[in-house]
Each structure stands twice: as structure tokens, then as C-alpha cells.
């Protein structure tokens, strides 16, 4: 495969490397991800994260394994192992469905390589289209609030919700971005703050529980988040804490937008209740770990409930911004996500 570089993925001499998102922002470290075991480990540890990026990294690895001479049967096993690595993010399943079609072509090696590279380029184009469509909703002087990380670190392109914010900033529409730290793994504090700083976008970092007081003071004009899965009725699974923001935004009359590519849609999933929610390890809540080391603050025997995602009902969402344009609540009620139009 040709040499390839995105913000978080790198292919060099038929080896896959990922940017360790657990080490950022203190350290920019590239890790080998050239085996199924290595990539699954990185996905579980969130060294690779972001729904689009997870799917793209798995697709690239399958293509590289094919070029190394793995048999069709071996690749089929690898594909299913990768599919099971992150149950909520449907981009992974959608990308691997396309890779599976390529796998069963007669000349499957070049077919897999072509499909993986096509997915990378498509994601870049999807991100650009989302950024353009979403920025049209941003009013001059906007103070925007975002949660988790949805930028170039999580995609092959400019990102989803953060791509919208960056594009709107380039147009002179953004006065400030409130960045939720995003407990428990601080993807906002570590990653989104870093990305916005690199882009020159003005931001202020807040703890998640500060959002309500900011909204009450009239300091937030809109909320922008990404998605890991969008059900057929418009319900959205995203990083834990998203639902809280949607409820707060609804109460305070603030528009709440979801930005995601079409690879995040799951028309076969009827509603949010049917979305599998990944449960994470207790140590993510009982303390904190990073490039600086590890600290535990909870009792050793503390019981922990740690879902990685929550579900935001469609009724709380002002608009779904896809690469195809803005989808309104009325369109969703009329079955937009169940039809081929999506």
C-alpha cells in the first residue's frame, strides 16, 4: 500500500501506526498497530478513538494484512475480531461491511486495498461537507459548547462537530468555544483543547458540571456534538454526558446540533434503546492515568458504573448535520433516517 498520513493514522512500508491519543497533549507518540491484537488493544485502551477513525483503522489493517499474504479465511476471522472491538460505534460495522464485500471478490487483495483507501478519501470529503453545511447554522459572534473530541484526531479529515466549529471560525463567526473536559477520560481537556489551540480557535476549558451555569447566564449560543450511532428514529448515542447537555440546552432554549457522517447512521436500529452501550473499566472512574502516571482517589473496593456512552432522544435535537446537509426534526419524524435519502 502507498504511504499514507492523516492526523492520527500513518501507513509506512506496509505497517500501520496510530497516534497515541492517550499520550496527548504532553507527548506525540506513534504506536505500531500492524496486527489485529495490537489494534484491538489500542481501541480498547482508547489510544485509537473516534467512531470514524476506529472504522478506518480497522479497514486499513485488513488491507495491509491481505498484502502480507493472509488467506481469505484468516482475513474473515480478523474482520470479525475487529468488528467486535467496539460495540457502540457503528462506523466500524459499516466500514467492515464494505471491506467484507471486497474480501469475497475473486481478486480480493487489490479489492481490499482499493476499498480501504476509498474509505479514507470518502471520510475526508464527508468531513468537509459536514463542516460546510454546519457552519451555515452558526451565527456571528457565537459562543459554542462542545463535548468530547470530534476533530481531525477522530477522523481522516477536519472532523465532524469540531470541523464545523473550525470552519465557522475561519468565517469569523465564533467568538469562543466552551470545551467540556469530558469525564472520565478527559478527551475534551486533552484532545479538543489541543486541537483548537493548534487551529487558533479561541476556547475556554470547563469541567462538565459547569455547562448548566453557563447556559443560565446566557453564555452559550449553541451546543455541537458528534455521534457514535444514529438510530432510525433520530436518537443518538454519543460520549457519556451528551444527554445531560441536550436536556440543559432544551430547558434554556439553546439549539443542540449533532454532526456526523452517513457512516454513523444505522437504519436497522429502531431507536436508542436498541443501541448497545459499552461498559468501561472501573479504574477510569476511581482515578486518572496518563503520560504523567496514575493516581487513584476512590476507595479500593468502590463499586463503579461506567458506561462509555449515553443516548440523546431525537426530541432534544435541533438538527442533524450530515455530509448530505442539515436534517430537520420534521424530516426525522417523517422517516428520513429510515429511507434511502439518508
Active site amino acids: 228
Q: Which three cell numbers stand for residue 123?
A: 471520510
Q: State the Cα–Cα distance between residues 13 and 148, nearest whole angstrom.
A: 33
Residue ranges in the chain assigned as alpha helix (H) = 36-44, 51-67, 72-83, 90-103, 108-135, 161-170, 187, 193-199, 211-216, 242-251, 283-286, 329-333
Half-sphere exposure of 228 (CA within 13 A, CB side): 26
Q: State the Cα–Cα distance between residues 54 and 63, nearest whole angstrom.
A: 15
> For residue 224, what are the contacts with CB-CB under 8 A and spacing of at least 6?
134, 144, 145, 146, 150, 161, 162, 164, 165, 257, 259
User: Does residue 287 sit in helix, strand or coil?
Assistant: strand
Among residues 57, 118, 122, the alpha carbon closest in space to that of 89 is found at: 57
Q: State the Cα–Cα distance between residues 293 and 187, nearest whole angstrom.
A: 17
- Decide if 31 contacts 169 (C-beta within 8 A): no
Buried/exposed 33-49: b ≥16 CB within 10 Å, e otherwise: bbebebbbebbeebbbb
DSSP state of 307: B
Is the peptide bond preceding residue 184 cis, with omega within 30 degrees of 0?
yes
Q: State the Cα–Cα distance between residues 202 and 225, nearest whole angstrom.
A: 18
Q: State the Cα–Cα distance between residues 156 and 299, nearest whole angstrom.
A: 40
Amino acid at each position: 500500500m502507498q504511504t499514507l498520513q492523516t492526523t492520527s493514522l500513518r501507513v509506512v512500508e506496509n505497517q500501520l501506526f496510530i497516534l497515541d491519543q492517550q499520550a496527548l497533549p504532553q507527548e506525540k507518540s506513534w504506536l505500531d498497530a500492524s496486527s489485529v491484537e495490537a489494534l484491538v488493544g489500542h481501541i480498547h485502551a482508547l489510544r485509537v478513538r473516534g467512531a470514524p477513525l476506529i472504522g478506518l483503522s480497522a479497514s486499513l489493517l485488513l488491507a495491509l494484512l491481505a498484502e502480507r499474504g493472509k488467506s481469505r479465511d484468516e482475513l474473515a476471522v480478523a474482520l470479525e475480531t475487529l468488528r467486535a472491538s467496539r460495540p457502540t460505534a457503528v462506523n466500524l460495522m459499516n466500514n467492515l461491511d464494505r471491506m467484507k464485500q471486497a474480501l469475497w471478490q475473486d481478486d480480493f487483495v487489490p479489492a481490499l486495498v482499493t476499498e480501504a483507501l476509498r474509505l479514507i478519501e470518502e471520510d475526508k470529503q464527508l468531513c468537509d461537507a459536514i463542516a460546510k453545511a454546519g457552519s451555515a447554522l452558526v451565527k456571528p459572534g457565537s459562543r459554542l459548547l462542545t463535548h468530547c473530541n470530534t476533530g481531525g484526531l477522530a477522523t481522516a479529515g477536519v472532523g465532524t462537530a469540531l470541523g464545523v466549529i473550525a470552519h465557522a471560525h475561519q468565517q469569523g463567526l465564533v467568538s469562543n468555544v466552551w470545551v467540556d473536559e469530558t469525564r472520565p477520560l478527559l478527551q475534551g481537556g486533552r484532545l479538543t483543547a489541543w486541537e483548537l489551540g493548534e487551529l487558533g480557535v479561541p476556547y475556554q476549558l470547563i469541567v462538565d458540571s459547569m455547562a448548566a451555569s453557563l447556559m443560565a447566564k446566557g453564555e452559550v449560543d449553541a451546543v455541537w456534538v458528534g455521534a457514535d450511532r444514529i438510530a432510525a428514529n433520530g436518537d443518538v448515542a454519543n460520549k457519556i454526558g451528551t444527554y445531560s447537555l441536550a436536556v440543559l440546552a432544551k430547558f434554556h432554549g439553546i439549539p443542540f446540533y449533532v454532526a456526523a457522517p452517513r457512516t454513523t447512521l444505522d437504519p436497522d436500529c429502531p431507536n436508542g434503546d436498541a443501541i448497545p452501550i459499552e461498559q468501561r473499566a472501573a479504574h477510569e472512574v476511581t482515578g486518572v492515568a496518563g503520560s504523567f502516571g496514575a493516581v487513584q482517589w476512590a476507595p479500593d473496593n468502590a463499586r463503579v458504573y461506567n458506561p462509555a456512552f449515553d443516548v440523546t432522544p431525537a426530541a432534544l435535537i435541533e438538527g442533524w448535520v450530515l455530509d448530505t446537509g442539515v436534517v430537520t426534526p420534521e424530516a426525522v419524524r417523517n422517516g428520513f433516517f429510515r429511507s434511502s435519502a439518508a
